[in-house]
Amino acid sequence: MRVLGVDPGLTRCGVGVVEGVAGRPLTMLGVGVVRTPADADLSHRLLAVEQGIEEWLDEHRPEFVAVERVFSQHNVRTVMGTAQASAVAMLCAARRGIPVALHTPSEVKAAVTGSGRAEKAQVGAMVTRLLRLSAPPRPADAADALALAICHIWRAPAQNRLQQAVARHTAHAPKGRTA
């Protein structure tokens, strides 16, 4: 499975591609950050994020895109920018028919470190170890994007089984009466 992880942001949008399957060693295929100038017009910044993600999709041809689920922060302006960058990533994937998975920060931390409350340094250290890198990816947004991809690779089999079970249950459930 090849997954593009996206840690959305307007100034720095982390991107990382990981390939592998759960239970086997994983391989990093690429990592980086799509940057936009803070003083640029919002529409131009979103366009730059879109172009950057499209380049990553063209180059790496992922089977899935894993995006960090936007959560409430104290700074509404930061949340809005993160949500907008997240939407751009989802749009790019949907345009190509690539399935998108959203993972919360705590899900990603728990998958990679074993604790949903892990610090950024712990996530970076585990990403470095899991992908057999010589140093943690910098900036942290890049390491977070790789962690998202790893999380998806490890969680996807269980999520797929759950979805299949729900679909089977729904298909075989007795139909309600209609009036």
**Catalytic positions, please?**
7, 68, 141
Q: Quick one: the chain helix, strand, coil %, rounded to 5?
A: 50, 20, 30
Among 113, 36, 116, 115, residue whose Cα is nearest residue 82: 36
Cα–Cα dist 111/113, whole Å? 6
Q: Which helix (H) or strand (E) holds 142?
A: helix 140-172
Terminal CA-to-CA distance of the chain, rounded, Å?
Answer: 47
Residues 6 or more apart in contact with residue 167 via CB below 8 angstroms: none
- Residue 102, by phi and psi: left (phi above 0), alpha (psi -120 to 50) or beta? beta
Is the separation of the CB atoms in 54 and 92 below 8 Å? Answer: yes
Among 16, 159, 15, residue whose Cα is nearest residue 101: 159
